[in-house]
């Protein structure tokens, strides 16, 4: 069963004069995740302990903005409602199976705009409204990416195998594959294989025009790829001036696989199968 919870409607009951306080937040979060607030606090403190950030300068302004920026708050809530309306029925109709997960829109401590965690042996998608507003990810397109994409990972986890302890090049090829699975899950729910929530400022057109270059460079980089030098996954890295190109490549790779295999069949692939299919995909595209 998929459970959707809007846990930001009660924020005004705890914070007054548009001013955040950690004491009031503790009271608020006890109504949302009472057994797990230390997870959120410890995550924040881990960042502060690096010495690069302080609560007063880096966390507090972001948290106060939730209370001050009423317009962005309203946009985020509206998009959340739009994207989650009848979501369980949409997944069941599209995929033929449901997902066991809880999606919560809440006010965290800058723990992340979208965060998938396992709590009490259950999967949660935690959506931090403070980070959503900070990053301006409050329109429905961004919300689709935050929710549908993470549910795609959970779907693979529940009906196949997601977490594998692969190393070096195998780990990044596996990441390409699993991100592609989540992207295709998004696209199936949206109803278009051309949909990419990352598509802004010409991103999609550029990726389409340079797909073979992205593919061959990714393949060449694999042998020496590390988390420090990879340039395909994340908005903090770039490939030829564009971020998240690995998501485009992964989606196209998995779309091609889906012409040969059922979606649920792919969920049980191991790295040897992915390697073999990746080699076939490379050969096919380099012949064209």
Confidence of residue 22 (pLDDT cuts 50, 70, 90): very high
Would the pLDDT of 49 be above 90?
yes
pLDDT at position 147 over 90:
yes
* 72 alpha carbon, distance to own chain's centre: 20
- Cβ count near 81 (within 10 Å): 14
Dihedral in degrees, nearest 10, Cα atoms 141, 216, 269, 194: 30
Element housing 147 (H / E): helix 140-159
Report CA-CA distances (Å) from 112 to 161, 222, 241, 249: 25, 28, 24, 25
Contact 221, 150 (CB under 8 A): no
Q: pTM, whole model, 2 decimals?
A: 0.89
Per residue in 156-166, pLDDT (tens digit) is 999 999 888 88
119-138 pLDDT per residue, tens: 988 999 999 999 999 999 99
Burial class (CB in 10 A: 0-12, 13-18, 19+), 176: buried
Name the strand (E) or helix (H) holding 86. Answer: none
Q: How far is CA 229 from CA 222, 224, 247, in A?
A: 10, 9, 17
pLDDT at 115: 87
Mean pLDDT of the chain: 94
What would the pLDDT profile of 233-265 be if each residue is shown by its tens digit? 987 889 999 999 999 999 999 999 999 999 999
Quote the percentage of the chain above a pLDDT of 70. Answer: 100
């Amino acid at each position: 069963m998929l459970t959707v919870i809007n846990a930001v409607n009660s924020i005004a009951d705890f914070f007054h004069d548009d001013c955040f306080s950690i004491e009031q937040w503790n009271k608020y979060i006890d109504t949302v995740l009472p057994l797990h607030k230390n997870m959120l606090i410890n995550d924040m403190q881990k960042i502060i302990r690096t010495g690069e950030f302080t609560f007063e300068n880096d966390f507090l302004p972001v948290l106060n903005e939730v209370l001050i920026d009423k317009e962005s708050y309203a946009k985020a809530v509206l998009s959340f409602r739009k994207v989650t309306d009848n979501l369980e029925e949409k997944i069941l109709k599209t995929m033929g199976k449901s997902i066991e997960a809880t999606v919560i829109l809440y006010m965290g401590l800058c723990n992340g705009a979208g965060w998938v965690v396992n709590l009490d042996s259950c999967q949660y998608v935690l959506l931090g409204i403070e980070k959503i507003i900070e990053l301006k990810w409050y329109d429905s397109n961004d919300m689709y990416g935050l929710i549908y994409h993470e549910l795609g990972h959970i779907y693979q986890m529940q009906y196949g195998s997601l977490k594998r302890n692969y190393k070096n090049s195998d780990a990044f090829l596996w990441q390409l594959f699993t991100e592609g699975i989540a992207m295709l899950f998004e696209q199936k729910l949206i109803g278009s294989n051309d949909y990419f929530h990352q598509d802004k400022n010409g991103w999609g057109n550029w990726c389409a025009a340079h797909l073979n270059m992205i593919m061959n460079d990714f393949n060449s980089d694999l042998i020496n790829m590390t988390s420090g030098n990879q340039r395909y996954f994340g908005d903090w890295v770039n490939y030829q001036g564009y971020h998240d190109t690995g998501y485009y490549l992964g989606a196209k790779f998995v779309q091609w696989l889906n012409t040969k295999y059922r979606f649920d069949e792919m969920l049980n692939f191991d790295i040897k199968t992915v390697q073999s299919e990746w080699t076939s995909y490379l050969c096919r595209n380099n012949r064209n």
